[in-house]
Structure 1
């Protein structure tokens, strides 16, 4: 399974993804799910993937090859005039790759799915964030929907909904994402460390921070322990529930 988050802040974009692709008592695999392309002074593009590993790796490889040898039939994301057009190219690539493999095997209708969070900035335009579906269509982040999640989303979503503020700092955004991931890791073993973090500041046209968070990361462990303690204290501080007089327990 997978868990990835993309946040659209006033200051820029923040991405975080886990690296676990298989989970079991004796079957755990780690693969990078965050990929970036940049042309200094012109654009930065970041993509996070969820779904069938062979499909997502093929999509990343195809996009990467096209940056080196573009053609009229297979344009490069480096040539797209806007992030909207980049999203269209990625969506078309997803759809074509899934259709290529459709009908192969008994479960092919669902086995080759892929969902992607795509974000970045092209010079002269603001940063933009998209979620692209297996069918190739996509939606864009907005003031009403300022973040996207893919993969195992349900456990980490409540903290994002309650705390996220587009005005928050990169540091607070990172802390918020770590809490969201910690809640997910505690509830679902199919999501796991290490985590990949990337921060992009508006108009820099280069990646501000890129960091891998391992199980022995001091700050992550501080957040994990602190969040658990804070939840317990918050629970204990809530008003006591009492049964009505005479009610059976």
Structure 2
């Protein structure tokens, strides 16, 4: 299982993913689910993946292969003129991989279902956020729904619904994303550390934060403990209210 979330804010884009892909009593695997591409001042792209690991790895590899070994007539993440076109390129890559491996996986009773969150900004345009599905089709985040989640999303959704709007400051968005992840980590063992955080700042058209948050990260532990204390305090205040 996994949990990835991305916020589309006026000040920029916030992306956060865990790294756990398999969980059991004696079987835990960790893989990076966040992938980034950047040309400072021109474009910044972040993708996060969920679903069949072989499928999503193949999609990421195909996208990178087209960048490393470009062929005439084939657009890449670095040549696409807009983020909408980038989303189409990612969707095309998903269809290629699904057509190649999907039937075989289905024949063996395995699911090929996969999804990708795509966040990015191109020079001359605003930050955009897309959710690409297994069929290669996609939807875009709007002012009414300024965030996307994939994977184990239910535990981390309430805080996003209560806090996030397009006008939410970037730093507040980062905190909300981390608390959303913390709530999921607390409630589901199939989501696990370390975390990968990527932040695109609209005014810079670049990835201004890109770091891994390890299990013993002091700041994250302090944030988690403070959130738990705040919730306990708020709950104590509620006990005097009768409905």
**Correspondence for 2:39:** 39
Moved more, 71-80 or 57-66: 71-80
Residues in 1 aligned to 2:72 and 2:174: alpha-carbon distance in whole angstroms: 40
Equivalent runs, 1:201-212 vs 2, <5 Å: 201-212=201-212
Number of the residue aligned with 1:247: none
1:132 counterpart residue number: 132
Shift in Å, 1:106: 5.2
Aligned residue for 1:10?
A: 10
| 1:167 CA drift (Å) | 2.3
Unpaired runs of at least 5, structure 2: none
CA displacement at 1:219 relative to structure 2 = 1.3
If the length of structure 1 is used for normalisation, what is the TM-score? 0.92
Residue in 1 that maps onto 2:141: 141
Q: C-alpha displacement at 1:71, in angstroms?
A: 2.3
**Tell me, what secondary structure is at the counterpart of 2:144?**
coil
Q: Is this contact kept in 2: 1:103–1:109, CA < 8 A?
A: no
Contact 1:123 1:203 in 2 (8 A): no
Output aligned runs, 1:1-249, within 5 Å. Answer: 1-72=1-72, 74-105=74-105, 111-240=111-240
TM-score by length of 2: 0.94
Helix, strand or coil at the partner of 1:154: coil
For the residues of structure 2 that align with 1:79 and 1:242, how far apart are their CA atoms?
Answer: 60
Which blocks of at least 5 consecutive residues in structure 1 are unaligned? 244-249
Cα distance in 2 for residues equivalent to 1:202 and 1:105: 40
Moved over 4 A (4+): 105-110
Q: 1:23 to 1:107 in 2, by over 3 A?
A: farther
> How far apart in 2 are the matches of 1:112 and 1:172?
36
Q: Report the CA distance between 1:236 and its aligned residue.
A: 1.4
The two structures, once aligned, show a CA RMSD in angstroms of: 1.8
Q: Which has the larger radius of gyration?
A: 1
Shift, 1:40, TM fit: 2.6
Change (3 A) 1:108 1:135: farther
Q: Distance in 1 between matches of 2:107 and 2:240?
A: 52
